[in-house]
Amino acid sequence: MKNYALLLFMIAVLLSSGFAGCSKNKSLHKKAQNYFERGDYDSATLLVAESLMLRPDYDKAFYTLKEAYPKANQSHLDQISALKNADNDDKWESILAEYLALDKLHQSVRKLPVIRDPQTGVRLSFELRDYSSEIKQARDNAAESYYQKGIHQSMIDSSRNSQKTAAGFFKSALKLVPNFKDSAARYEAARQNAIIRVAITAFEDKSGVRESYGAIADILTDLVVSRIIQDQSNSEFVEIITRGQMDELMKEQELSASGLVNEASAARIGLLLGAQEILGGRILQVDYVSPRITAIDLHETANVDIEDDIQERSDNKEVSCHFRKYTKSSSLQILASFSVVDVSTGRIKIQKSLSASQDFETEWGKIISGDERALNSSQKSLAKKSEPAAPTAKEMVIETLNALSRDIAAHFFDYIK
């Protein structure tokens, strides 16, 4: 009896998995057919191949593959031919993309089991090619095109924008073919020529609340430096002069951070450090509203069913509840400013005032008296909560400084692009 039950269970599992596979198979083919009708023969081929992997004898998928694959294949071959005949220096990366698409198509069909015509039983076969050599050649040609562009661009002039563009070309060559010729060395040379050396001075705390929240100006300075250094996509052409170098030089020259915003001092410090730009700033104001609690008394009523076991009936009765809803809130706002000074001219190139804030609000409740059934679900949930703790002022300061550092770094990167 147990063996019979086990057999029935196994049959049920097999039938269930079979139905699931059949459902997925039909879904894949339906999507493939939609792509085919829209002229996207690549997507149609890839999906119908997946369908046939599940069920090689699925006749609808067979006919779709028979039509879609040749069309997709010929479309790429025609495009490759047109691109090769075009007088365009940028054509090789497009040719590479076509060969990669062709290779993906051929790989998907190559993996299929034996597929036969549902009517004749004749095995379906396509001419399949290995495009690895063509892919390598197209990749090399595309890398060579970027390499030559990089050489040309680097020789146009020594301006930062020109060298930055050249570095981008050499980097593209390396993405296509790692270690392509001397692209790595040429990229680094162009990058060095395009770099802006930026000295970041310690921010000043002008808020008058230094003792309350600690060294907030130093924290903001370190956060700004970290954000600029860690943003690799934007800091590729930026070199930061360390805080230690700045402090040591300023001590030797008997200068304060505040002196860096005037033209003469900025030019002098920048020259000594080899900096091209100096970034500095101030924390101007810190406004903190400590946690406060407000309460609202609510008198709720509702009609509920009361079961009477003796008379075996239910009566509708109005119940009420005195509920107190509490709200705790606090906030903190910091106002700051920063500027970037061009060392060569001593002029302030960008100056902005920024603000960031943190707001905290939470709710809970308490049943003062009455029947809790008069409350709605939200009020019942609040009644189960105890009074939540608010973040400390220092915690809110750190979060706000983080937000300010993000804004300052974003404005700086916009400026140097």
What's the pLDDT tens digit per position in 243-258? Answer: 677 667 667 666 555 5
Domain that holds residue 172: 138-194
Structure tokens given for 386: 């105890």
Q: Are residues 36 and 143 in the same domain?
A: no
Q: Are residues 161 and 76 in the same domain?
A: no
Taking residues 25-52, report their average pLDDT.
92
Local confidence band at 18 (pLDDT 50, 70, 90 cut-offs): very low
CA–CA distance, 273 with 263 (Å, rounded to integer)? 16
Q: What pLDDT shows up at residue 7?
A: 45
Q: What pLDDT shows up at residue 309?
A: 53
In this model, does residue 150 exceed pLDDT 60? yes
Local confidence band at 12 (pLDDT 50, 70, 90 cut-offs): very low
CA–CA distance, 269 with 145 (Å, rounded to integer)? 43
Supply φ then ψ for residue 362, to 5 degrees. -145, 160
DSSP state of 123: B
How many folded domains does the chain comprise?
3
Q: What pLDDT shows up at residue 22?
A: 63
Q: Are residues 221 and 363 in the same domain?
A: yes
5 within a domain of the structure (yes/no): no
Task: Return the CATH number at 33.
Answer: 1.25.40
Residue 211's DSSP bridge partners are: none
Q: What pLDDT shows up at residue 267?
A: 63
Q: In Å, what is the CA distance from 232 to each residue of 208, 226, 238, 328? A: 35, 11, 9, 41
Q: Are residues 66 and 119 in the same domain?
A: yes
262 within a domain of the structure (yes/no): yes
Q: What pLDDT shows up at residue 310?
A: 53
Q: Are residues 222 and 369 in the same domain?
A: yes
Q: Are residues 189 and 203 in the same domain?
A: no
Taking residues 383-389, report their average pLDDT.
94
Q: Are residues 218 and 353 in the same domain?
A: yes
Alpha helices in 158-262 (DSSP H): 160-176, 183-194, 210-213, 216-230, 243-253
Number of residues that make up the chain: 417
Local confidence band at 213 (pLDDT 50, 70, 90 cut-offs): confident
Q: Are residues 116 and 150 in the same domain?
A: no
188 within a domain of the structure (yes/no): yes
Structure tokens given for 67: 């039509």
Q: What pLDDT shows up at residue 250?
A: 66
4 within a domain of the structure (yes/no): no
38 within a domain of the structure (yes/no): yes
Q: Are residues 190 and 203 in the same domain?
A: no
Q: Are residues 148 and 287 in the same domain?
A: no
Question: Which residues does 120 contact at the CB level (< 8 Å), separation at least 6?
Answer: none
Local confidence band at 8 (pLDDT 50, 70, 90 cut-offs): very low
Supply φ then ψ for residue 117, to 5 degrees. -60, 125
